[in-house]
Structure 1
Amino acid sequence: MKKSIIIFYFIMLYSLVQLISWGTLVIKLQPSRMAMVMGEGSVFLFLLCMGAFFLHQSIKKEDKLHEQQQNFLLSVTHELKSPLAAIKLSLQTIVKRDLDKARQLSLLNNSLKDIERLDDLVENMLLATKIENRSYSFPKEQFNFSELITRITDRLQIHSCGSQQMISLNIEPDVMITGDPFALSSVVTNLIENAVKYSGPCAEVAVDLNTVNGHPFLKVADKGPGIPDHEKMLIFDKFYRVGDENVRKAKGTGLGLFIVKEVLQNHDADISVKDNAPQGAIFEITFS
């Protein structure tokens, strides 16, 4: 890529030098053709500059994509290693120590949660690949959306915050929807996991589901740092993550909200991002 850029700019510089030298020579030999030389030279120079500008923009975009892919690989490595290390430690503890049954069950339950986390990560990567390749068909059926959300929040609920409930539910019962249960479960999981991840320790995450004018309406609100206005639309791009990579604390792959956008578009649903008060972000989904 860099070699091609150097060659291109060398050719552009050579062309510019030749344009000026030949134009000067023609004007000296035939002063009456000065207007023609200036006009055609200006057009040629304009096209040359436009070509250089678009090439520069393309290179910047390619470099940005390459950087995002590198960050994605680093993030995936971290996301895989952390639960695997926790599972390994729990199993080694069970094998090497004489623990009572309650302690063994606690370690096994923690391992199951880490396995579910790994499963979510793998499913996200597979679904994102299938969506991008247009090989996923989104099989739709009617199902109970309230039960699906309740099941997911129960699994993601954090029980290490004393009596305080981290995920606060306000679910209207028996909200039925026609869609792909697997893909929509990925939408709900990604939104709630993001809310939990970016909120402070034991900060409340609110999940509301009801019907508005006969249409299902889902809202996920967190109390995290929030999302700047200029990034509210960019967050749905593949690999994009809010903030600077060097100072970002929360880990992630940058696939979650890309999947959310693609799945909802296939279900004719709208998603919007708003600021929460006093801080945080609110994701609102309206189904048609």
Structure 2
Amino acid sequence: MKKRLIAINAVIVIIGFTVAFAIAGMKIQAQYRMEFTNRLDTALAILQTRKEDILQNPKTVAENVGKELSQSGQQIRISIIDPSGKVVGDSAKEEIDQNHLTRPEIQAALHSGRGYDTRMSASVQQRYYYEAIYLPGDFYLRAALPTAELDAALKRLWMTALLSMLLGIAVVCALTGYLVYRVTEPLQKLSAAAKQISGGDYSCRVDGSFRDEVGELALSFNRMAESTENAVAQLKSQQKQLEGVLQGMNDGVIAASKDGTILFLNQSAGRLLKNPSISAGRKLEGSLLINRIAERMKAALRGDSFDKQNIETEDGKQYSIYTAVIPGQRDAAALAVITDETRIRKLERLRSEFVANVTHELKTPLTSIRGSIELLKSTNRDEKTRLYFYDVLDIEAERLQHLIDDMLVLSQIENAKEDPSARPCVVANAVEKCVSRLRPVAEKSGIAVQIQVDPSLIVSCSPTRLEQLIGNLIENAIKYNRPDGRVDIIGVRQRKTAVIRVKDTGIGIAPEHFGRLFERFYRVDASRSREIGGTGLGLSIVKHLAVLYGGEVGVESQAGKGSTFTVRLPLAQDGSEKSALKTI
């Protein structure tokens, strides 16, 4: 604080001196400029009286007038410039090759009759103050005074200002240091007492007798310290009464004082917050979740209206936080009850999505079935029409059957933690069976199916499940392919993993669909999927089967250039591989 006060006073002195000397400098500069202007006006007036001589010999006139002014103590430079900007006479130096038409004072004289400028002369390398007048149709008359005298005066002014500022700063710092010491002595005692109280010593008080506002501050501080001590003692007493009840709750419970110090927390709170360092007596701070809980508790202490808030963390966990002021201790402590609702929210979301998706998927075939039945019942139909509607009913009923079958399969896979029917299976055999079953569909669209599977690839799976996994990928590759396209099924060994790729030359998938491609009922092109009879569950079944057997599934695709689905499954143990190869 001392250093700050001294620095503030020094800055004030510097600003004051700077402003004062800046104003003085501008006044001096303005006075010199006025004096220079009067002297230049006189020189130009003399030149104007010699207009006839100038027309005959401008160079001689400029030199003579310059000498006359120099002899009288006026170091004024005289220049005569023709309308084209060429210097035809100069008392200091000839400038035959220089054009002065663009000089600021000449331009100003051209437009307003008289112009001024201050700059470094390019010909004599000296700073001048210029004044020019224009005699229309004849020439420009220009007079210039060196500004060395003005520059020297300003330099002396600023040197005086610098020395004065240094002296003023020294005096101010000395006086401020003495005054600050006298003023801050009681404040230092207050600061020391505040540090002791913040460290937990609530019995600390400010000793001494001080006058005026400082004395009132010390007295108020002692009263505050006493109130804080009493409040903390009362909170500790209430904490002991509640501890027995709250320790048995499944929900996390935290009580914290106004300054964020934890007064109480039960075991469930420590488990939910996943922070082993959090304990009573420490500050309520740490992870993002803890900081947000602390904010809610502070808001409750401020008297904000809301009591319950839902918080979602970065890892997807969802918590319900109820905050309130502890009864009887308003503005002293707050209570937070933390409930982990992640599982409940997830189940609710899944149920809602499942109901919505199932309803949507069942609605289309049921609507078609009901419409066909109503049309059949409405009037007598000929044989051809009835057969058409019967075919529609059969197709839609089959679609419903496939949908229900896929939903049952997916439900079984999701609920299974492991497959007790798993045994060593040769991947090549499963691929051959799937291709044989789907070859008529491929031939109908002119799609060629090529198999390049290592016959030694053996994985531990249920044969039926493995055929479901591979069959869904091959079926999608055929359905979403182009006429006369191609499907390649490749199986290779990579270390201890069987890598199965199903590559097609179909319509492809845009990158924005990759994130949701394996969700239930998600379709890239819903109209095309329904047209070819897809249920939207095939890829979801593939993903869950891969996870069930310890593998994973991925996709690489470009819209219009085909797709490649890759399944990675762990290879069976060595003993299991030999057993499976014997059965081939």
- Shorter-chain TM-score: which interval? 0.5 to 0.7
Aligned position for 2:444: 160
Q: Does 1:70 align with 2:359?
A: yes
Aligned position for 1:221: 503
1:133-144 pair list within 5 angstroms: 133-134=415-416, 137-144=419-426
Q: Deviations over 1:73-101 (max 9, x none)?
A: 246769x9xxxxxxxxxxxxxxxxxxxxx
Aligned position for 2:304: 41
SS of match in other structure, 2:444: coil
Would you tell me which structure has more helix in proportion to its own residues? 1
Report the CA distance between 1:121 and its aligned residue. Answer: 6.3
Query: Any conservation in 1 of the 2:481–2:504 contact (CA below 8 Å)?
Result: yes
Measure the CA separation in 2 of the matches of 1:69 and 1:140: 30
SS of match in other structure, 2:303: helix
Aligned position for 1:231: 513
Measure the CA separation in 2 of the matches of 1:184 and 1:156: 15
Distance 1:119 1:201, change over 3 A: farther
Would you tell me which structure has more strand in proportion to its own residues? 2
Q: Does 1:212 align with 2:498?
A: no
1:98-117 pair list within 5 angstroms: none
Select 2:545's aligned residue among 255, 263, 272.
263
Query: Any conservation in 1 of the 2:447–2:486 contact (CA below 8 Å)?
Result: yes
Structure 1 stretch displaced more, 212-221 or 262-271: 212-221
Report the CA distance between 1:271 and its aligned residue. Answer: 1.1
Query: Any conservation in 2 of the 1:221–1:282 contact (CA below 8 Å)?
Result: yes
Measure the CA separation in 1 of the matches of 2:478 and 2:448: 8
Measure the CA separation in 1 of the matches of 2:409 and 2:545: 10
Report the CA distance between 1:261 and its aligned residue. Answer: 1.0
What TM-score, normalized to structure 2?
0.31
Distance 1:231 1:155, change over 3 A: same
Distance 1:143 1:133, change over 3 A: closer
Aligned position for 1:99: none
Identical-pair percentage: 24
Counterpart of 1:69 in structure 2: which amino acid? V
Measure the CA separation in 2 of the matches of 1:68 and 1:174: 41
Measure the CA separation in 1 of the matches of 2:546 and 2:491: 16
Measure the CA separation in 1 of the matches of 2:424 and 2:311: 56
SS of match in other structure, 1:41: coil
Report the CA distance between 1:241 and its aligned residue. Answer: 1.9
Report the CA distance between 1:63 and its aligned residue. Answer: 6.3
Q: Deviations over 1:175-217 (max 9, x none)?
A: 2222221111100111111111111223211211121235211
Report the CA distance between 1:273 and its aligned residue. Answer: 0.7
Counterpart of 2:423 in structure 1: which amino acid? E
Quick one: higher RCO (CA 8 Å, sep 6+), 1 or 2?
Answer: 1
Query: Any conservation in 1 of the 2:399–2:533 contact (CA below 8 Å)?
Result: no
Query: Any conservation in 2 of the 1:124–1:256 contact (CA below 8 Å)?
Result: yes
Distance 1:70 1:39, change over 3 A: same
1:242-261 pair list within 5 angstroms: 242-244=524-526, 249-261=531-543
**Please, which runs of 5 or more residues in structure 2 have no aligned partner?**
1-298, 313-319, 321-340, 370-397, 571-584
SS of match in other structure, 2:424: strand
Q: Calculate the aligned-residue CA RMSD, in Å.
A: 4.2
Distance 1:234 1:151, change over 3 A: same
Measure the CA separation in 2 of the matches of 1:177 and 1:255: 24
Measure the CA separation in 2 of the matches of 1:260 and 1:155: 18
Measure the CA separation in 1 of the matches of 2:311 and 2:459: 53
Distance 1:213 1:277, change over 3 A: farther
Measure the CA separation in 1 of the matches of 2:459 and 2:490: 16
Report the CA distance between 1:233 and its aligned residue. Answer: 2.9
Aligned position for 1:13: none
**Please, which runs of 5 or more residues in structure 1 have no aligned partner?**
1-35, 81-115
1:170-209 pair list within 5 angstroms: 170-209=452-491
Counterpart of 1:271 in structure 2: which amino acid? V
Measure the CA separation in 2 of the matches of 1:285 and 1:142: 17
Query: Any conservation in 2 of the 1:138–1:183 contact (CA below 8 Å)?
Result: no
Counterpart of 1:221 in structure 2: which amino acid? K
What TM-score, normalized to structure 1?
0.59
Report the CA distance between 1:172 and its aligned residue. Answer: 2.1
Query: Any conservation in 1 of the 2:501–2:565 contact (CA below 8 Å)?
Result: yes
When the two structures are aligned, how many residues end up with a matched partner?
214
Measure the CA separation in 2 of the matches of 1:215 and 1:264: 12
Measure the CA separation in 2 of the matches of 1:75 and 1:269: 35
SS of match in other structure, 2:493: strand
Measure the CA separation in 2 of the matches of 1:143 and 1:254: 27
Structure 1 stretch displaced more, 61-70 or 211-220: 61-70
